[in-house]
Structure 1
Amino acid sequence: MKKVQALCPDGGAALYLKGVSLEAQGKNEDAVAAYRNAVAKTPNFLQAKGRLGLLLLTKGNREEASVLLFDAARQQDDPRYARALADIFLEGKLYALALAQYRQAQSAFAGDVALHLGIARSYTGLGDQQHALESLREALRLEPDNVTVHLELAALYQDGKLFDQAAAHLRQAIRVAPANANAHFRLAQLLEVMGKRDEAEQEYVLAGVQRAVTVADHLKRAAKYEDAGDFALAAAEYGSLLVKNPDTAGVREKLGDAQLAAGRDAEALSAYEDALRRKEDSSRLRYHLGTLYERKGDLDEAVANFAAALRLDPGNSDAHRRLADIHALRGELDEAIASYRELVSRQTDNPINYLKLARLLEKRHAYKDAAAAYDKALALDSSNSEAHRSVAFLLLRMKQPEQAERHLRDALQIDPRNSQARDALISLLVKQKRYDDTVLVLEEDARLNPQSADSQYRLGVIYAFKREDDKAFRQFDAALKLKPDHARALNAMGKLYLKEGDRDKAREAFAAARKADPDMLEPVELWSKLSADSKHHVKAQKSRSSKPAKKKKSTVKERDRKKKGGKRSSKR
């Protein structure tokens, strides 16, 4: 560590090691700052990104952590990153993604009960109860007295109508944690379902719950829990009501809503389906069913339920939107466009709907209609950088460069870091041979992205094109300091050396470019040509050395010599 800090005290590696040391000392806030600085210095420093992501996750900053961890996990085989991503995906109810990440981390965390619980919950979310049971049994083998595992097993067995097994696991949980009111309450409910009312009464007492005696009491208590945000308890009240009064109308939908709010998708789906079997249908219920099936990946069922929601209530905008998005995902453009046209006719003040409609129309090659939809979206929200960029791309396709340029500049005015808009503007200006304007855009890009080797390189290219070799050399040099194996910058540097007569330096640059990117043909050809001509060049140089040379301006070669401490001669 001391050696790294001595060689490069302000570099990304030194900052990363500083972060590791601070983290080991328990100074997590300082470690976060160090890792952030390391990433800022070296954007592709995956270890720094990964450790920063893990720390941010412990602080509850899941959104930023997920971006960092995904970037690190994609390029570096570290099971810690996969494990952390799995937990994030599970919390977001992205069950298939969570399961894939858990599987990737499983060999490294084979003895971790929490990982097996995560796998089980992922399978449950996907509706695969058998594999969920297998994962929970493995977790129980690792830790036989884990209360959470017993409770999860009880829930799965109860869903499968295996009441005796469910009760056994609830009793095991109570044996380990006698004061666990939730376990007592769940066992009481289960015993009621099994017809063991006296035993159920005892468990209700141990749970500290006063049993309601009327439907109104249950509904009142459930509403109270919902107002307090305790949806699991609200669901328990609705469940208790249905045990005693199974024919109470409308309660199953309420039960489904509470389960959905509590994050219990499988239980919510079961409650809604039960309501449908009893002919308790509604647009709202169908919409929630569609959402649950969409989460499971069953798009056919999702479409059927969203369509049913619209039949019951044509004004259900959320159902229109979800149906349109699924049609678009499937490539069913006509159906998606029809859904969004219906949506914008009902919600005339929502710019996002117009933006989505415009993109669908553009895919359908209905360019005039798409442009009109983009204009409507921008009329409602002129500060949307992506809308300006999208309409600009469409206008370029429609051969309207002046209007496209206006929108591209608007996009960059709103969001200077909109790289797609900037690249399109640069391309447009180059095609129009407006090189001075191109330089201004590229200079701004280089200022905004000082750590981007590509940004420095592109500015160097335009300087070289304008024959401003000094500036071009500085930019290529800046790119290579950020990324020493930047093939295109090495190639461009080789061209500058070749232009000014330093064939040795040119040969070195082309060789380095070839090594950095063997598929890049230009440096290979130039390098080969130089190698073949080397003997001829030496003879020609000797021949020219007998003739007096004119004074020249400072060249790239001479600047390079100065950097190494050489002296500039006044005569050749």
Structure 2
Amino acid sequence: MFKLEEAIQLVENGEAEKGLKYINEMKSQCSDDEKYEIAITFFKWGLVNEAKDLVEELLFMYPDEGELLVLMAEILIDLDNEEEAIGFLEDISKNDPAYVEALLLQADLYQIQGLHEVSEQKLLTAKRQMPNEDIIDFALAELYLSQAEYKKCIPYYKSIIAGNENIAGVNLYSRLAEALSTVGEFEESLPYFEKAIEKTEEINTLFNYGFTSLQAGYHITAIEVFIRLKELDPEYSSLYLHLAKAYEQEEMISESYEAAQEGLKIDNLNKELYFLAGKLAMKLGDISSVENHLRQAIAIDPGYIEATTTLTSFLRHEQRYEDIVECLQEVMSYGENDPQFEWDLAYAKNQLEEYSHALNHYRLAYTSFKDDRDFLEEYGYFLLEDGKRAEAVDIFKSLLLIEPDNLEIEELILGLE
């Protein structure tokens, strides 16, 4: 009597040749059910062609048997013949017990081919057939997640997470937490992140937990999570910017600056870290480091407008007007521009007594800052000092529309008129 279990045991004990020889000698004497089991065993062992031969033999006798059609489709997929596999799956009757399994397999194949809407329809059909099957909900959730349709995937993850912590090796807490975080549901996502890392401290999940905690305003939690991540993987460069930000939110400026410095040792091309380090150095009163960090950020990306305007603001405070002009001219030589550049150049040129150039820059900046009270006041006084009384009055009147209770400007206008 043929005993497949004995053959399997021989193979698993390292006597593969003996086990396979036994199967091949006896398979002609086996029942159809035993041949099916042998085909499955061959397939699991990677003997795909041998499995295919057996399934073809069985399909000749049972052409409508769903389990056989599914197995043949899986074999064809393994042989990179997806189109033929889909043909076998579509032959399975809706009344066949293997119909839902066939739909799931078709959904996978269509997703691989980029036919996501077709894949979705197959899964929704399976859902109608078996509305309470977790594996179908999981497949729908994964499909929507892969398409960045986070609001669609969240209900499916929630529906299965009560009875499952993972499916197919996937940490469902992590999936749900990250989906909730992505749609801005930071508070709701945090307990799921906690459960996810209880199961396994996967570094990307830790990073997302820390980032979400920071977004939700739980700065201490974020610090603790990022420190743990740093212990596990100090080369995880993305953590340092957010760790520094979390420290900054807690007014732990020295610790924040140290975290930024640590990050720059690992990633010395991170413009955001240089920019943050510059702002932190300013708070710490480290004047020489402020300029160095900000100029490094601009050198990496001349189009980093925020870094440039922060540097020019710093230089303005330091009354280094020639350096403002030099900095902005260099950045603008790369084709970069911003209305703030015109205002900064106007102010610097005025201080350098280059009045005609200053006027041109003020006029260029006016379009963008015509509703900014600080700009209007500065521009108005510049025009007044430049002898352009009528233009100055117009600018001061615009300022008065913004600040109708500004008695000083009102009196100035009356005096000029």
Question: What TM-score, normalized to structure 1?
Answer: 0.49
Is 1:315 the counterpart of 2:128? The answer is no
Q: What is the CA-CA distance between 1:288 and the residue it aligns to?
A: 0.1
Q: 2:109 aligns with which of 249, 255, 258?
A: 258
CA deviation vs aligned residue, 1:291-324 (integer Å, no higher than 9, x gap):
3466595946x44432443345323334323322
CA deviation vs aligned residue, 1:217-242 (integer Å, no higher than 9, x gap):
53453123211334343222122133
Q: Considering only aligned residues, what root-mean-square deviation do their CA atoms show, in Å?
A: 3.8
Partner of 2:157: 306
Q: 2:77 aligns with which of 202, 222, 226?
A: 226
Secondary structure of 2:370's aligned partner = coil
Is 1:247 the counterpart of 2:71? The answer is no
Query: 2:266, 2:279 → 1: CA distance?
Result: 20
Percent same amino acid among aligned pairs? 11
Alignment of 1:65-80 (within 5 A): none
Q: 1:227 to 1:396 in 2, by over 3 A?
A: same
Partner of 1:409: 261
Q: 2:346 aligns with which of 482, 488, 494?
A: 494
Is contact 1:454-1:479 (8 Å) kept?
no
Query: 2:189, 2:306 → 1: CA distance?
Result: 39
Is contact 1:320-1:343 (8 Å) kept?
yes
Letter in 1 for 2:97: D
CA deviation vs aligned residue, 1:189-225 (integer Å, no higher than 9, x gap):
xxxxxxxxxxxxxxxxxxxx99943346534531232
Is contact 1:408-1:421 (8 Å) kept?
yes
Is contact 1:511-1:524 (8 Å) kept?
no
Alignment of 1:170-249 (within 5 A): 212-213=59-60, 214=62, 215=65, 218-242=69-93, 246-248=96-98
Secondary structure of 2:91's aligned partner = helix
Q: 1:421 aligns with which of 273, 280, 288?
A: 273
Q: What is the CA-CA distance between 1:247 and the residue it aligns to?
A: 3.4
Q: What is the CA-CA distance between 1:356 and the residue it aligns to?
A: 1.8
Q: 1:346 aligns with which of 176, 199, 222?
A: 199
Letter in 2 for 1:247: P
Q: What is the CA-CA distance between 1:501 and the residue it aligns to?
A: 3.6
Partner of 2:285: 433
Q: 1:532 to 1:361 in 2, by over 3 A?
A: closer
Q: 2:139 aligns with which of 288, 301, 322?
A: 288
Q: 2:359 aligns with which of 484, 493, 507?
A: 507
Partner of 1:380: 232
Q: 1:440 to 1:227 in 2, by over 3 A?
A: same
Partner of 1:337: 190
Query: 2:116, 2:335 → 1: CA distance?
Result: 48
* Structure 2 residue runs without a partner (length 5+): 1-55, 390-417
Query: 1:468, 1:270 → 2: CA distance?
Result: 65
Q: 1:466 aligns with which of 306, 313, 318?
A: 318
Query: 1:447, 1:497 → 2: CA distance?
Result: 24
Letter in 1 for 2:88: E
Question: What TM-score, normalized to structure 2?
Answer: 0.65
Letter in 2 for 1:471: D
* Structure 1 residue runs without a partner (length 5+): 1-208, 538-572
Query: 2:148, 2:336 → 1: CA distance?
Result: 47
Is contact 2:69-2:89 (8 Å) kept?
yes
Letter in 2 for 1:305: Y
Secondary structure of 1:406's aligned partner = helix
Q: How many residues matched?
A: 326
Query: 2:215, 2:307 → 1: CA distance?
Result: 31
Letter in 2 for 1:223: E
Q: 1:291 to 1:422 in 2, by over 3 A?
A: same
Is contact 1:287-1:305 (8 Å) kept?
yes
Moved more, 359-368 or 441-450: 359-368
Is contact 2:150-2:180 (8 Å) kept?
no
Secondary structure of 1:247's aligned partner = coil
